[in-house]
Amino acid sequence: MKIFIDKHIVSLFSVLVFHHLALQVIQADEKGKDTTKTYYLGEVVVTATRLPTNPKNLPSSVEVIRSSNIEKKNGTSLASVLEGRSGLFLKSYGGSGALQTPSIRGMAAEHTLVLVDGQRYNNFQNGQVDWGIYLLDEIERIEIVKGGYSAIYGADALGGVVNIITKHPGATLGLGAELSRGSYEYQRHGVHATYGLGRASMQLSLRRERGRGDYEFYFHDGLTTTKMRRQGADFSILQSHFGMDYSLSPIAQTSLNIRYGDAERGTPGAVVTTASNGQARQSDKDLMTQMDFLWNFNPTVLLHVGSSFHYSDGTYIDPGLIIGGKILESFYTNRLLSFTPHVRFSPLNTFSLIIGAELARGSIISNEVISAVRWQKSLFLSAEKAFEFPHEILYNIILYPSLRYDTFSDVDGDLSPKIGINIGVLREPSVHLRSSYGKNFRVPTFNDLYWKVGGNPNLHPERSVSFDAGIVTDFNFVGLWEAEVSYFNIDTEDRIVWMPGSNSIWSPKNIHHVKSTGIELKAEWRSMSEAFVLGYAHTISNTIKKNMDGPDDQTANKQLPYLPTETAAFNGSLNYGAASLNIHHVFTGFRYITETNDPKFVLPAFQKTDVNLILRIPFEHVIMKTKFEVNNLFNADYQIIASYPMPLRTYVATLEVQY
Amino acid sequence: MSIKYLYLLVVIAMLAISSCKKESPIVPPVEIPPTTKAVYVVNEGNFGRSNSTLTVYPPDSNKAYQDVFAAVNGRNLGDVGNDMVLYKDRGYIVVNNSQKIEVIKLSDHTSVGTLVIPGNKSPYKLSILNDSKAYVTNLFDNSVTVFNPLALALTKQRIPVGLNPQGIAAANNKMYVCNSGFGSGSTVSIISTSTDTVVKTLVVGNAPSGIEVDADGDVIVKCDGAYNDFSNPNDDTPGSLVIINVNADTIAAVIPLPLATYGHPGRSSVSKKGYGFVQVNTGILKFSTSTNTIISDAFITTSSYFPYSLAVDDVTERVYVADAKDYVQPGQVFIYDKTGQQIGRFDTGIIPGTIAFKR
């Protein structure tokens, strides 16, 4: 069991101890690479404030998914691992390899900022990340902070921020290989190696995942139900990663990470008849190169310079869509170069200040979008100030003020302030109250501004005000209990919506006012030996379009389509010796298909259960791991998006060898 | 309402007859004027959501019946209803992305059957020639499919035509097909209905999409004009109305629609009473099909909405203009009399795209 020690109690330790830990604190910075478990001081997250902080001390809710949690879920994509988290709903367009996008707190995919080791991953073209083809490889943990975070990360962080934090390479030789086989010719092959050499440590991994994707599903035409096979949904995903850490001196460290992904897949589209057999295909190539430099001048000053280059290239071809004698073919090439230096001052144990800047250049070349370049210049400032009291009740108050100013070469920028507070109400059992309030914005994407047919260069940013408040507690009672309840409210003005104009040409406008409110509950119980782990998450929310587009607008005050008002998830884990049995059950409430919330057109509620059994067999220096996964155990017949059927029951068996 | 009205007319006529009987034993046959019994609107719904619906509006009533197909048949109409043709006692609804034609009885709207157009051709517009032959254009297959409209059996799966065929009309035992190419096409394919082959391809104007037959038997083709590079408004070409002589299959006349005045035209509708309408930037333009000239640039002013579709009722000479609003909420149809004055309106489903009349 992890021992939870409040960061601010730790901060009372002697300067000597603090200094001794300095390097480990560096490692737990934005890259959060806390593999040195010896010095691991309780649960520490970095995304919410850019400071390593215990989650219960934060001003708003955070989800932490560690590699051990990832292993206990079915699947390998970002989507499969994060399914069922409170406040997060996944819009899935099919099984493995299909498009999957997130909705955090009722917001859209372009309102979720994805970071890889603290650096922006979303491109400027559509602001979205496909979670279906992002394979998790060598991941230390994933942090999800919910609510508005423009004051920390700038544009697009309206619904939340997902930070994927990579493992550090090991200092000694390590080798591993894995092999999976599953339903519908699903295959996965992977190798990884790690090696230390002097001041350098390196890791290399390569993973390939492929399948026919022709899973079974039910098609309903209203009178009859037909069991069908998905057609044209085959996929092949390659992901490789090279990482290197180099210690320049005892107080300075640099790291390099290069990730390359290549996904080729069929995207057959909606199934509206028993004869539907879309032939569209999509190809995505993605290169993310990051270089980080950390320098701990002294125990109170830390310099972090992050830089990244993200290249993404996509091609979409639909042979079934012949327009003017030509097959529909679209290509997009995005480049995003960013440079983010920041300095952290911690002059007092109860006070930290971060000052930083971000300079980025994004560009697009496409046959659908007018070529464009965007420069971004940003300054940010955030602080953490703790007031400690020698009481058992009301024992501390921590304030988190943040301010960020972003400018863009082609659209308006904004000033984004945020204030957060965390109040330690009770020391034992631990009870904290927390709240945050901030302004956020999303810049129009290149598609919004420069799409050749209907792009609107006069758009301005969407702006939101987000508020949340909650209570978090943990205590020991026949095991360790952790629970939290959060209320949230995100009020977005000038939301960009593509609307039809004259001659039926669609064009985006800053027109909608959307309000998203809800309550999230999550609770977890772990037995003392962690033989039993039970978790539960429940979210009740409404995402309502508030404005009238015209007189008698029947879409005003209605729930946005495809978003459930209720979701719940149950996780159970039974660990005995080398064996681990895990169950993951999700409930998703009904969803409207239409903006008018016509009750005749709804997607019904569904429940889905995934299970897996993991066995670890140590054999001298080698550990053999087997994992048997069953997805959709009870053959739930469901859709997340209308006419995009989801798979019935499927199986995957994996054998992994680690040296 | 319409049945009561009809009943009243018959009673009045009977009274008139009976009152005349005493004065004259020779009675001329009574002509019951045709009436429009129902207005049908096929609402496209949103692509991929299978929420196309059928609205039925009894003329002069204050109620439109929504989603009639599903209410009667217990299943949804399908994905993107793009056309409806009334033939004898049946209604034929082309459901584009569901790759099918749903056939209903007009008396009670119950399903007669479903004809699936094989091969994901994307059926779009329909024309029924007679009891044994009907022709449907296939938007993404560059072809026309022939079927027996009574037996609902395919006769010929593919007659190759030009690019992205849209509107289709029957005249002089031929089928005239607009090869739109979504802007890149400029021809009409003329199909012989005896051989079901293309006998001539006639160059008309850029992007022909709508086609109807006028009172003189001529075919009127509405060309939208090409957008070319969408990001460059200076390379657009203007739309036009092209009149085809169906005996010689040559162009008899052209009514130009200059871009600066009219923009790219929207939907059109031609009456059998010597005139037609087309939606342009100035409103609903009225043109003469006898002189082939423009009668009025703005017969109907539509500044308060974007007309999505329109249809003229030959019997009442009323013009029905549909407003699809923002394409995600139910639309409306505005009713105008033959002078262009609005006399009513009714609600529809999402994206009212096709209007048809039962008489």
Q: Is the pLDDT of residue A36 over 60?
A: no
Residue A136 — pLDDT band, cuts 50, 70, 90?
Answer: confident
Following DSSP, what letter does each residue of A395-447 receive, concatenated?
A: EEEEEEEEEEEEEESSS--EEEEEEEEEEEEETTTEEEEEEEEEEEEEPPPHH
Name the residue type at position A141. R
Q: Residue A598: in which H helix or E strand, if any? A: none
Q: Percentage of chain A with pLDDT > 90?
A: 79
Q: To the nearest whole number, what is the mean pLDDT of chain A? A: 90
Confidence of residue B30 (pLDDT cuts 50, 70, 90): low
Type of residue at B192: S
Cβ contacts of B325 on chain A, cutoff 8 Å: 549-550
Per CB-CB distance under 8 Å, the chain A contacts of B164 are: 322-324
Q: Does A250 touch chain B (CB under 8 A)?
A: no
In the predicted model, is pLDDT for residue B14 greater than 50? no
Q: Judge whether residue B19 has pLDDT over 70.
A: no
Judged by a CB distance cut-off of 8 A, whether residue A601 touches chain B is yes
Tell me the pLDDT band of A321, cut-offs 50, 70 and 90: confident
* Residues of A (367-386) whose Cβ lies below 8 Å from B: 370
Angle made by CA atoms B279, B284, B285, in degrees to the nearest 5: 90
Residue B11 has pLDDT above 50, yes or no: no
| pLDDT for residue A619 | 86
pLDDT confidence of residue B33? 64
Mean pLDDT for B131-141 is: 96
Interchain CB distance below 8 Å, B231 and A370: yes
**Which residues of A fall within a CB distance of 8 Å from B97?**
270, 272
State ipTM: 0.80
Q: Is the Cβ pair B164, A272 closer than 8 Å?
A: no
* H or E, element range at A70: helix A67-71
CB contact under 8 A, A593 and B49: yes
- Which residues in chain B have Cβ-Cβ distances shorter than 8 Å to A454? 230
B286: pLDDT strictly greater than 80: yes
pLDDT at A322: 85
Give exposure, B99-124, as e/b (b: 16+ Cβ within 10 Å). bbbbbbebeebeebebbebebbbbbb
**Which run of H or E residues covers position B313?**
none
Measured CA to CA, the distance from residue A14 to residue A3 in angstroms comes to 20
pLDDT digits (tens, 9 = 90+) for A109-124: 999 999 999 999 999 9
Q: What is the pLDDT of residues A152-175, one digit of tens each?
A: 999 999 999 999 999 989 888 999
In the sheet with B352-358, reading across from the earlier edge strand, the strands are B53-57, B38-43, B352-358
Kindly state the average pLDDT of the residues A374-382.
Answer: 97
Which ranges of A485-575 does DSSP label H, i.e. alpha helix?
A: none
Q: Cα(A516)–Cα(A416) distance, rounded to whole angstroms?
A: 19
Residue with tokens 């960013």: A338
What band does B22 get if pLDDT is binned at 50, 70 and 90?
very low
> Lowest mean pLDDT: which of A221-225, A644-648, B170-174?
A221-225
Whole-angstrom Cα Rg for chain A: 24
Residue whose pair of structure tokens reads 């327009």 in the numeric block: A323
Residues A453 and A475: their CA atoms lie apart, in Å, by 58
Angle at Cα B260 formed by Cα B289 and Cα B301, nearest 5°?
60
pLDDT at B25: 52
For residue B48, the model assigns a pLDDT of 87
Q: Testing the interface with B: which of A456, A503, A597 to mutate, by most B Cβ within 10 A?
A: A503
A146: closest CA among A425, A522, A482? A522
Contacts of A273 in chain B (CB under 8 A): 78, 98-100, 116
- Predicted TM-score (pTM) of the model is 0.87
- Spell out which residues of chain B touch residue A553, defining contact as CB-CB under 8 Å: 329
Q: What is the pLDDT of residue A277?
A: 82
- The minimum CA-CA distance between B99 and chain A, rounded to whole Å, is 7
Exposed/middle/buried for residue A527 (C-beta within 10 Å: 0-12, 13-18, 19+): middle
CA separation, residue A656 to residues A72, A96, A189, A536, B206 (Å): 14, 20, 10, 29, 62
Q: Which of the residues B328, B332, B350, B351 would you substitute to probe the A interface, choosing the one with the greatest number of A C-beta atoms within 10 Å?
A: B328
pLDDT (tens digit per residue) in A334-358: 999 999 999 999 999 899 999 999 9
Q: How far apart are CA A201 and CA A205, in angstroms?
A: 14
Residue B149 — very low, low, confident or very high, per pLDDT cuts 50/70/90?
very high
Compute the average pLDDT of residues A194-200. Answer: 92
pLDDT of residue B8: 44
- Chain A contact probe: residue of B47, B50, B53 with most A CBs at under 10 A: B50
User: Which band of pLDDT confidence, cut at 50, 70 and 90, is reported for residue A502?
Assistant: low
Contact B144, B136 (CB under 8 A): yes
Nearest by CB to B230, from A269, A453, A500: name it: A453
Residue A519 has pLDDT above 50, yes or no: yes
Residue A295 has pLDDT above 50, yes or no: yes
Cβ proximity of B39 and B68 under 8 Å: no
| pLDDT, mean of residues A112-139 | 92
Contact (CB<8Å) B140/A269: no
Please tell me which of the candidates A278, A325, A452 has its beta carbon nearest to residue B163: A325
Q: Report which of A191, A239, A241, A189 is spatially closest to residue A211, judged by C-alpha positions.
A: A189
**Residue A326 or A370, more confident:** A370
CB-based contact, A595 to chain B, within 8 Å: yes
Q: Assess whether pLDDT exceeds 50 at residue B232.
A: yes
Say which of A272, A454, A550 has its CB closest to residue B50: A272
B274: closest CA of chain A, how far (Å): 26
Distance between the two ends of chain B, CA-based, in angstroms? Answer: 14
Q: Rounded CA gap, A515 and A538, in Å?
A: 20
Distance CA A129, CA A99 (A): 9
pLDDT of residue B304: 86
Contacts of A638 (CB under 8 A, 6+ apart): A588, A603, A604, A606, A608, A646
Q: According to the model, what pLDDT value does residue B280 have?
A: 95
Per-residue pLDDT tens over the stretch B184-207: 999 999 999 999 999 999 999 999
Q: What is the pLDDT of residue A137?
A: 80
Block residue for tokens 């940010």:
A380
> What is the least distance, in Å, from the CA of A325 to any CA of chain B?
6
Confidence check: pLDDT of A13 > 60: no
Average pLDDT over residues A626-640: 97
Task: Kindly report, residue by residue over A207-260, the tens digit of the pLDDT.
Answer: 999 999 999 999 998 788 999 999 999 999 999 999 999 999 989 999 999 999
> What is the reported pLDDT for B300?
96
With CB atoms and an 8 Å threshold, state whether B350 touches A594.
yes
pLDDT given at position A172:
87
Which candidate from B100, B328, B350 shows the least CB-CB separation from A273? B100
Classified as helix, coil or strand, A576 is strand
- Predicted pLDDT at A324: 82
